[in-house]
Amino acid sequence: MEQPQEARDEATAYHEAGHAVMALLLGRPVAFVSIRPARERLGMCEFGKAPYRPAEDWVEREMLISLAGIAAEARLTGAYDWLAGARDQIYAEGLALDRAGGDAKRAQRLLRRHLAKAEQLLGQEGNWHAVERMAAELVRLTEISGRAARYIFAECRRDEC
């Protein structure tokens, strides 16, 4: 049975807002967030150029951002939609496989650990409020700028949300 359009839009909005909030939380700039369908995507979170930080674990950051969309959507719907998040899953699996030196079992354990960490980080009150507010704006406007995403994130992290 197919979901009504409003439910798909809301799930997509939470998915993309999850990516944006995690990116901002981990210091990666967001250029814009959209739930306008294009080709094989239902939505998109476009990132800006990140400043170089030699001590940063780039692979962990990318995995967390990638998995945050699926985690946020699942928190809303109660189920992981791996089909809708297939691009994110493939990207995260590739990173995990590289990090695990090609060991598939180790890579799967790493993915599960990072998914749990993404869920834990998004579940923090200010972060989750930011996801909810961003998702609401996405449903209302279909696209928000990186500046608007940063504003919502900062406001919610200050408990003014």
- The domain total for the chain is 1
Domain CATH for 152 = 1.20.58.760
Burial of 34 (0-12, 13-18, 19+ CB in 10 A): buried
How far is it, in rounded angstroms, from Cα 139 to Cα 37?
13
Domain with 64, as residue range(s), is: 5-157
pLDDT digit string, tens, across residues 76-86: 999 999 998 99
pLDDT digit string, tens, across residues 99-134: 999 999 999 999 999 999 999 999 999 999 999 999
Whether the pLDDT of residue 161 is over 70: the answer is no
pLDDT digit string, tens, across residues 126-156: 999 999 999 999 999 999 999 999 999 999 9
pLDDT digit string, tens, across residues 45-65: 999 987 766 667 999 999 999
143 touches 16 (CB < 8 A) = no
How far is it, in rounded angstroms, from Cα 114 to Cα 123?
14
